Amino acid sequence: MTVAPGARSCAANSAAPPSSAVSRTDASTSAAGAARRPLPTTDSPSSSTLPQTSMASMPGPLLPTATMAFVPPVRRCPARTIGAARPALRRALPSTSAAPVRTDTVATNATAVRRVLRSVRAVVLAGLAALAVFSVAPAAFGWVPTMVTTGSMVPAVHPGDVVVTAPLRATDAPTLPIGSIVLAEDPARPATLLLHRVVGRNPNGTLVTKGDANAAPDTAAMPPGNLRGLARFTVPAVGVPLLKARAGDPVPAAAAVVLMVALVLAGGRRPRARHREKFSA
């Protein structure tokens, strides 16, 4: 493609910028060149060797030549007393020394003993409650508790056992089963109660009684009118302290009373709350 010279000149003329734009461009270029010129430093040996340049003849804006030293701000901490505690830091950092821990072993043992006493007290009170029920409830039906003082009925009944008997009448003698344990007035010793087993019946209607621990039956026959009660059940060893006291040995009875009072007092108290303390070294 061939372009006429006249056309090129026209294109060049049309693409050329206006004179005002050229003048502004030259001014900005001269200002940028002046900014890139090296500035005099304070490290020069003498200020007399520097060229003397008028302030008015220097093109472009003037740049500051002073140097500024950076001084870091001083951080001032508030005054603190020597040895003052730092709670947050002390909680965050674990202690390097082994801190002794005091445990209240005496309180722990006392608590265990108190629990055992409460258990024993519960058992004893349950036994006493059962005894009270067995002693009072039969009375509603006319049953009578009787404590055995001799060993003539061993091994069925031992001294100190309490036997609860139902009432018997003379008319019940003919139908009384053989082998029954009866409470009756001893014909050989009036006003004395006898607890023996019926082992036979005589033709005249009297009963033959015998103690389980005895070798022979009782010598005196038991009249039906002497019958007082028929044994229903036995509460073992309840009257042992009372028997000892009657024999002149009050120690078992006193020990039983003291034990009951101690169980009631020790089991009724609640242990106080104890906190374990830790001491740092």
Nearest to 161 by CA among 255, 241, 48, 269: 241
With 90 as the cut, is the pLDDT of residue 34 above it? Answer: no
Q: Do residues 126 and 201 both lie within one domain?
A: no
Question: Does residue 57 form part of some domain?
Answer: no
**Cα–Cα distances in angstroms (integers) from residue 206 to residues 94, 181, 199, 224, in the given order:** 95, 15, 11, 6
pLDDT at residue 279, rounded to an integer = 44
The tens digit of pLDDT for each residue in 114-173 reads 788 778 778 877 877 776 776 677 778 888 889 999 999 999 999 999 899 999 999 999
Q: Do residues 149 and 228 both lie within one domain?
A: yes
Question: Does residue 111 form part of some domain?
Answer: yes
Structure tokens at 182: 């009866």
Tell me the CA end-to-end span of the chain in Å, nearest whole number: 102
Q: Do residues 151 and 224 both lie within one domain?
A: yes
In the DSSP assignment, the letter for residue 263 is: H
With 70 as the cut, is the pLDDT of residue 259 above it? Answer: yes
Question: Does residue 163 form part of some domain?
Answer: yes
| Number of folded domains that form the chain | 2
| For residues 190-204, average pLDDT | 94
Structure tokens at 235: 């509460």
Q: Phi and psi for 64 in degrees, rounded to 5?
A: -70, 140
Return the higher-pLDDT residue of 92 and 206: 206
Q: Hey, is 230 helix, strand or coil?
A: strand
Q: Do residues 244 and 230 both lie within one domain?
A: no
Q: Do residues 114 and 220 both lie within one domain?
A: no
The tens digit of pLDDT for each residue in 202-229 reads 999 999 999 999 999 999 999 999 999 9
pLDDT bracket for residue 29 (50, 70, 90): very low
Question: Does residue 71 form part of some domain?
Answer: no
Task: List, in sequence order, every beta strand (DSSP E) within the chain.
Answer: 101-102, 144-147, 162-167, 181-185, 193-201, 207-210, 227-235, 277-278
Task: List, in sequence order, every beta strand (DSSP E) within 7-75.
Answer: none
Q: Do residues 174 and 244 both lie within one domain?
A: no
In which domain, by residue range, is 122 found?
A: 106-140+237-267
By CB atoms closer than 10 A (0-12, 13-18, 19+), residue 266 is middle
**What residues form DSSP beta bridges with 232?**
none
pLDDT bracket for residue 96 (50, 70, 90): low
**Cα–Cα distances in angstroms (integers) from residue 72 to residues 67, 69, 75, 77, in the given order:** 16, 10, 9, 16
> Are the CB atoms for 218 and 195 separated by under 8 Å?
no
Distance CA(243)–CA(148), nearest Å, equals 9
Which amino acid, residue 253? Answer: A
Taking all residues of the chain, what is their mean pLDDT, rounded to a whole number?
A: 71
With 60 as the cut, is the pLDDT of residue 25 above it? Answer: no
Whether omega before 155 lies within 30 degrees of 0, making that bond cis, reads yes
